[in-house]
Amino acid sequence: MIYDEDDHLKALAKYSDLENRVWLLKYFELYKSTLIWPDGLPPIKRCGLITGTLRAKFNSYYHDTLLEFNHKLDNENQTLEI
Give the confidence band of 1 by pLDDT, cuts at 50, 70, 90: confident
> Parallel, antiparallel, or unpaired: how do β-strands 35-36 and 79-81 relate?
unpaired
DSSP SS3 for 35: strand
CB of 55 within 8 A of CB of 45? no
Decide: 62 and 24 in contact? Cβ < 8 Å: yes
Instruction: From residue 22, give the alpha-carbon distance in Å to each of 25, 38, 47, 65, 70.
Output: 5, 26, 27, 11, 14
pLDDT in tens, 22-35: 999 999 999 999 99
- Helix (H) / strand (E) element for 45: namely strand 44-45
Q: pLDDT tens, 56-77?
A: 999 999 999 999 999 999 999 9
